[in-house]
Amino acid sequence: MNKHAIAGIIFAVSLIADILTKWLVVSKIALHERIDVIGSFVQLTLVYNRGGLFGILQGYQAVFLVVSLVVLAIMIAFYVFEKNKTQLFCVSMALIASGAIGNISDRFIGMLGIADRPGVVDFVYIGSDAVFRWPAFNIADAAIVVGAGLLLIVFFVEEKRRKRSGAA
Contact 101, 145 (CB under 8 A): no
Overall number of domains in the chain = 1
Q: How many other β-carbons are positioned within 10 Å of the β-carbon of residue 71?
A: 14
Element (H, E) at 46: strand 42-49
Gap between the terminal Cα atoms of the chain: 34
Partners of 46 in beta bridges:
31
Find, among 145, 137, 149, 73, the residue nearest to 106 by Cα.
Answer: 137
* Residues noted as catalytic: 122, 141
Full-model pTM: 0.90
Q: 112 is in which domain, residue-wise?
A: 3-167
6-30 in b/e form (b: 16+ CB < 10 A) is ebeebbeebbebbbebbeebbeebe
Give the tens place of pLDDT for each residue, 62-119: 888 899 999 999 999 999 999 889 999 999 999 999 999 999 999 989 888 788 888 9
- Mean pLDDT score of the chain, rounded to an integer? 92
Give the tens place of pLDDT for each residue, 111-122: 887 888 889 999
User: Rounded to an integer, what distance in angstroms lies between the CA atom of residue 123 and that of residue 117?
Assistant: 13
- The per-residue pLDDT for 168 is 54
DSSP letter (8 states) at residue 53: G
Contacts 24+ apart (CB under 8 A), 128-133: 128/40, 128/41, 129/40
User: Rounded to an integer, what distance in angstroms lies between the CA atom of residue 32 and that of residue 76?
Assistant: 35
- The per-residue pLDDT for 90 is 97
132 to each of 44, 113, 128, 150, how far by Cα in Å? 16, 34, 5, 26
